[in-house]
Amino acid sequence: MIPSVTEIAVTAEDRRVAWLATAAVGLSLVDAAIPSPLPGVKPGLANIVTLVVLARYGWGTAVWVSGLRVLAGSLLLGYFLAPGFFLSLTGTTLSLLSLGLARHLPRRWFGPVSLSILAAFAHIGGQLLLARVWLIPHDGVFLLTPVFAGAALVFGTINGLIAAKLLAEPAPSEVR
């Protein structure tokens, strides 16, 4: 075989990101399979991965894992570049930004539950704003805000608890 001109060295970090993103994509698929009473109200289980990654490997890795999850998840579920993709992307971007700020909160007082709730609110806030600006240019979109915000609080808390539980276990020596 002709040797490739550009050799891409795969680092341990790359492998880790790939494995974690796979886990996140898997959870996105589980998420999509759960019936929801209202489009947009989803548990967001993949965010558990984001929270664990943020705590264990830092914000940069969390951005990679989340970004890959949105991309691969949308390809697998067939909404790549459809409105849902951009909603997902906006929500993820805003929740990553909020996590970037919130992770500087004192750890002694604020744990994964706080981060998860804040990220969930940022996520739905971003999606509502994008929906208002782009998809449904009418203030009626905001009629559902209390429902979405309530769901964000409930699922944010649950995901945060699961992430806290996982983080309470000793870290795996290394992800294969």
| Beta carbon nearer to other proteins, 22 or 114 | 114
Interaction of residue 149 with other proteins, rule CB under 8 A: yes
Q: Are 99 and 54 in contact (CB under 8 A)?
A: yes
| Beta carbon nearer to other proteins, 29 or 141 | 141
Work out the angle at residue 137's Cα, subtended by the Cα atoms of residues 136 and 141, and round it to the nearest 5 degrees: 60
Tell me the CA distances in angstroms from 81 to 35, 71, 74, 77, one per residue in order.
23, 9, 8, 12
Interaction of residue 131 with other proteins, rule CB under 8 A: no
Rounded least distance, CB 49 to other proteins, Å: 17
Interaction of residue 73 with other proteins, rule CB under 8 A: no
Rounded least distance, CB 27 to other proteins, Å: 19
Rounded least distance, CB 120 to other proteins, Å: 9
Interaction of residue 164 with other proteins, rule CB under 8 A: yes
Rounded least distance, CB 144 to other proteins, Å: 8
Nearest CA-CA partner of 144 in 170, 124, 126? 124
Interaction of residue 35 with other proteins, rule CB under 8 A: no
Rounded least distance, CB 23 to other proteins, Å: 20
Q: Which residues bind other proteins (CB under 8 A)?
A: 105-106, 108-114, 117-118, 121, 138-140, 142-143, 145-146, 149-150, 152-153, 156-157, 160-161, 164-165, 168
